[in-house]
Amino acid sequence: MATSQPVHPLAPGSQRPMPKIDRYTYMLGEFMLKYWALFITVFLGLLVFTAISIPFLSYLGLDPLSKQLFFALHYICAQIPSHSFYIFGHQLGFCARNLAIYGSMFVGSLIFVLSKKRMPGLPWWLWILMLLPMAWDGTTQMFGLRESDWILRVITGTLFGLGNVWFALPFMEKTIRQDQLNNKLRSQA
């Protein structure tokens, strides 16, 4: 004798009405799945904008605000003065390498979003190759074997940021689409 399986309240074609809280949770989940890459892009853009706006705010005499933003970004970046860029004599909120990392991550994620999430992902071995220059630069500098300059910091940071976004975002999109397809097939079975 076959026993019937309980129907999930969120499954299409369900006979049971969905509770109100589940309906809102479902709608929020659908919204997040649709716009997750845009949220990442906006967050990265705000980080870069904040870092770049700090010297302008200081120049305009808004030091209380610029100092608060500068100290908030210290959780992300060491902000070593000799490794940083300056505008109007005021230090940016990120060092050169972190500005390149987050700036390239913002540009890469913006390209991903504007391509309607069709950007092909990097193979894992190419992703590792894009991370290696920064690892080499940082390690040799950490052990005092040589001193890095701003050009090398920007190049290695850009490769690192682009490599991570180019690998991670298409991978995440592929995983989300595969999970949605699997859920659809399960609900039809």
Asked if residue 103 belongs to a domain, the reply is: yes
Angle, helix 150-188 to helix 124-142, in steps of 10 degrees: 150
CB 51, CB 84: distance < 8 Å: no
Asked if residue 106 belongs to a domain, the reply is: yes
β-sheet bridge partners, residue 84:
95
Asked if residue 3 belongs to a domain, the reply is: no
Asked if residue 13 belongs to a domain, the reply is: no
Range of the domain at 163: 20-188
Please state the pTM of the whole predicted model. Answer: 0.85
Asked if residue 5 belongs to a domain, the reply is: no
Asked if residue 15 belongs to a domain, the reply is: no
Q: What is the pLDDT of residues 140-153, one digit of tens each?
A: 988 999 989 999 99
Give the Cα separation of 112 and 105 in Å (integer): 10
Asked if residue 4 belongs to a domain, the reply is: no
Which tops the pLDDT comparison, 121 or 1? 121
Over its C-alpha atoms, the chain yields an Rg (Å, rounded) of 23
- DSSP, res 81: G
Q: What is the pLDDT of residues 20-74, one digit of tens each?
A: 778 888 888 889 989 999 999 999 999 999 999 999 999 999 999 999 999 999 9
β-sheet bridge partners, residue 87:
90
β-sheet bridge partners, residue 13:
none
Asked if residue 7 belongs to a domain, the reply is: no
Distance in Å from the first CA to the final CA of the chain: 19
E strand or H helix that includes residue 91: strand 90-95
Give the Cα separation of 120 and 170 in Å (integer): 6
Structural domain total, the chain: 1
